[in-house]
Amino acid sequence: MGVDLSITLGGARLANPIVTASGCFGSGKEMSRFVDLRSLGAVVCKTVTPEPRLGISPPRGAETAGGMLNAIGLQNPGVAAFRDDDLAWLAERRVPAIASVGGHSVADYVRCIEALRGAAGLVAVELNLSCPNLEDRGFMFALSAERTAEVTAAARAASDVPVFCKLSPDVTDLVAIAEAATGAGADGLSLINTTLGMAIDPLTFRAKLSTGTGGLSGPAIKPIAVRCVWQVHRALPHVPIIGMGGIAGVEDAIEFILAGATAVAVGTANFYDPTATEAIARGLLDFCNTHGIASLDEIRGQVKIEG
């Protein structure tokens, strides 16, 4: 029996559902020594902003039980350099790319998207909404349905490719914010971004990050991420979701697909196993062959809940 792992993500046809999580894979240049990038569905690149950013002073990363904390501060070369260098590099190798964009205002997001219009190989744009909105007292866009809708509508109007909104789990009603994003024109959702965490060295009494708090990722957050995907898919069953948060093996990927994810993004696992993405893609094919699954559509959203 032949297995078809291909998916449609916001209008783009991808060979399989395994993509990279933004910020954990760069643009694939360094990782191409370990992974055949063409074996992946797409590379989701590190978030870029209108102008270059140096990021936050160290320490800005710390290992935790079952994961890691980071506070990088969106260090990046700026959208123009990204477009002319990294995005062009991926296009030359015919690797589908998803650009992650961020900013401190709605205008920042629009500037990034306008700079990316017409870029070869770009199949979608992901809005990193866990950025502080300086027009709204520094609150993250993702914490407000109204602000999420505002930036999404502006991005959708400016973009010539599908727009995905990356949402935070640190909200009281994720479904309401997901509905605001899709209502404003989002073609899909990325669930979830990191959750806010903190670690302290008990010997020095110092916080392990220079900012005090940072984003927690890795296996520790997987149950939260699976729950978020399930809740949003149940409310918005026709909206494509890129599921992420603690995916380290093929069984993790299957969990997200059963919860309703169209694609799955591998992030923190790349730091301790740079071959993780390709291994999961191979493992997914083996899983489908073993269990007689011809297409992932057969199991997507098919979690069984007893009682």
Q: How many structural domains are present in the chain?
A: 1
In a domain, residue 168? The reply is: yes
Give the chain's length: 307
List pLDDT tens digits, range 207-240.
Answer: 999 999 999 999 999 999 999 999 999 999 999 9
In a domain, residue 66? The reply is: no
What CA–CA distance (Å, rounded) separates 11 from 34?
A: 29
User: Of 24, 112, 131, 288, which one is the catalytic site residue?
Assistant: 131
CATH number for the domain spanning 43: value is: 3.20.20.70
In a domain, residue 202? The reply is: no
In a domain, residue 201? The reply is: no
What CA–CA distance (Å, rounded) separates 57 from 55?
A: 7
List pLDDT tens digits, range 77-128.
Answer: 999 999 999 999 999 999 999 999 999 999 999 999 999 999 999 999 999 9
C-alpha to C-alpha distances, 82 to 45, 46, 109, 139, 260, nearest whole angstrom: 9, 9, 15, 27, 32
- Residues of the domain holding 179: 7-56+72-196+216-298
**pLDDT mean by block of 10 residues, the chain; 307 residues:** 91 96 96 97 98 94 96 95 98 98 96 98 97 66 96 99 98 98 99 97 98 96 99 98 98 99 98 97 98 98 92
Structure pTM?
Answer: 0.97
In a domain, residue 40? The reply is: yes
In a domain, residue 283? The reply is: yes
Burial 158-192, CB ≥16 within 10 A → b, else e: bbebbbbbbbbbbbeebeebbbbbbebbbbbbbbb
Q: Which two tokens stand for residue 188?
A: 């899909």
Which of these, 151, 189, 143, lies nearest to 170 by C-alpha position? 143
Task: Give alpha helix (H) positions in the chain.
Answer: 79-81, 88-92, 106-116, 145-158, 174-183, 222-235, 250-259, 269-272, 276-290
In a domain, residue 14? The reply is: yes
pLDDT more than 70, % of the chain: 97
Tell me whether residue 288 is one of the annotated catalytic residues: no
